[in-house]
Structure 1
């Protein structure tokens, strides 16, 4: 360290902008050791302390903890070790940023939905949040089995479009829970099936729907398993049967044919 010890801890704190409490702690753990005045025992600092503190502050800003910083400061090849660890830090921060982006997106949409909808059942709300969380996995799957263009059309929508679709799915989910168990031919039930297909088509789009028609049932099942459902097993089974009945009645599906497509 510099033999010119011109700063008491108070002056050093003001010059560097680092609190006295923090400087005490750095001294105690050996990260930035002050010199002690032999008479007063006060902590004293010099210009070399400033240089070292600047390194500490910079490395801390980059995300390193104090233990890592201590080891790095002892490394004579700091630049080499810094490059290697920065690459690891960059990857970790990118992953954190992706997670934070998902959280912010989920928060924003949930707040907007709660502002515009009253008494949303908790299972429906949690379902929407879970689907936002798994959206990237869904998109990656869709790109792999269809194309990037189709995946972009499904998942790149304006916030206004997403909120509108969320509201429609909330209304549909409420209707499913209200009507579950009613006969398939009931006019209200058939209207529910029609709305469900229309909203699904609006969300997915015709190109994706056509691409889904070419996939194996097992592949479609894998995709559906990524999407959280607000329904119980009983509700899910009833809804599937309602939609199948509707499609048969409207000539959209023939259970005895191998070539079934939504018109």
Structure 2
């Protein structure tokens, strides 16, 4: 600390705007230790105390608790300049803002859907929106950033329309599940499902999916959190496979089963 201890606790309180009671507390917990006059034992403060207090006030304002602030001030490996502290906290708040934006986005889309439809699997929709970053990271890894951008950069109107379409399809699946795969209404459902998937991910992504292993596709589907039971999902897979075989899109006996 500065050797020039020019302020009594009363003067330091007036200069900094911090109450004497708070200064006593900060001293007791070791956050802002005053120097003691060897004769009077009164608390004395200098300019270095002001600099340290400014850091404490700034860190407290930015959301850190006193215990965290104390640890930060004791860690000499940290650069505790106000600028770097602000940059660190700015990054943390930006990450929080991104999370809040996702939550607000999920709420907004769910409210819009609730206005137009009943009994929708809203928890599935919210999970999907919250998982979009993981989905996008996966897609960039196995395809490309350009393809991922085309999938996830859509207007809210497009997203809402697709949400409604997939909700309608999920209702049809639950209504038809268990029926033979060759029934006309079941095959029409398969056609709708593939068309909706194509609209959502685009031709490039569908083609890229066709080159991936089933296990890799399964990882992506888990992140999508489909609104189906295990039985429904198994039946739908059989329905779509039958449709693709019948329409020359898939050959179960071929080693190269790519969506055309």
- Supply the RMSD in Å over aligned alpha carbons: 4.4
**Number of the residue aligned with 2:18:** 18
Q: Tell me, yes or no, if the aligned pair for 1:123 and 1:230 is still in contact at 8 Å.
A: no
Using the alignment, how far apart are the partners of 1:83 and 1:232 within structure 2? 52
Distance change (3 Å), C-alpha of 1:24 and 1:191: farther
Using the alignment, how far apart are the partners of 1:109 and 1:17 within structure 2? 47
**Number of the residue aligned with 2:180:** 183
Q: Tell me, yes or no, if the aligned pair for 2:110 and 2:122 is still in contact at 8 Å.
A: no
Match of 1:133 among 130, 133, 151: 130
Distance change (3 Å), C-alpha of 1:48 and 1:212: closer
More displaced stretch, 6-15 vs 199-208: 6-15
After TM superposition, the structure 1 = structure 2 runs for residues 187-198 of structure 1, keeping only pairs within 5 Å, are 187-198=184-195
Question: Aligned-pair distance for 1:31?
Answer: 6.5
Question: Aligned-pair distance for 1:108?
Answer: 1.5
More displaced stretch, 49-58 vs 189-198: 49-58
Using the alignment, how far apart are the partners of 2:176 and 2:231 within structure 1? 12
More displaced stretch, 234-243 vs 214-223: 214-223
5+ residue gaps, structure 2:
none
Q: Tell me, yes or no, if the aligned pair for 1:72 and 1:81 is still in contact at 8 Å.
A: no
Using the alignment, how far apart are the partners of 2:248 and 2:4 within structure 1? 92
Distance change (3 Å), C-alpha of 1:10 and 1:143: same
Distance change (3 Å), C-alpha of 1:216 and 1:69: closer
Distance change (3 Å), C-alpha of 1:6 and 1:243: same
Instruction: Indicate yes or no: 2:253 matched with 1:236.
Output: no
Q: Tell me, yes or no, if the aligned pair for 2:128 and 2:225 is still in contact at 8 Å.
A: yes
Using the alignment, how far apart are the partners of 2:121 and 2:204 within structure 1? 32
Question: Aligned-pair distance for 1:261?
Answer: 3.2
Distance change (3 Å), C-alpha of 1:14 and 1:180: farther
Question: Aligned-pair distance for 1:212?
Answer: 1.4
Question: Aligned-pair distance for 1:158?
Answer: 0.6
Question: Aligned-pair distance for 1:188?
Answer: 1.6
Using the alignment, how far apart are the partners of 2:66 and 2:139 within structure 1? 43
Distance change (3 Å), C-alpha of 1:33 and 1:219: closer
Question: Aligned-pair distance for 1:194?
Answer: 0.8
Question: Aligned-pair distance for 1:247?
Answer: 1.5
Question: Aligned-pair distance for 1:64?
Answer: 2.3
Question: Aligned-pair distance for 1:234?
Answer: 0.5
Using the alignment, how far apart are the partners of 2:7 and 2:39 within structure 1? 16
Question: Aligned-pair distance for 1:203?
Answer: 0.2
Q: Tell me, yes or no, if the aligned pair for 2:127 and 2:225 is still in contact at 8 Å.
A: yes
More displaced stretch, 20-29 vs 42-51: 42-51
More displaced stretch, 94-103 vs 163-172: 94-103
**Which string of whole-angstrom CA distances, capped at 9 and with x for unpartnered residues, describes residues 157-194 of structure 1?**
11110010000000000110111111112222111111
User: What TM-score comes out, normalization by structure 1 length?
Assistant: 0.74
Q: Tell me, yes or no, if the aligned pair for 1:124 and 1:170 is still in contact at 8 Å.
A: no
Question: Aligned-pair distance for 1:208?
Answer: 0.8
Using the alignment, how far apart are the partners of 1:44 and 1:192 within structure 2? 80
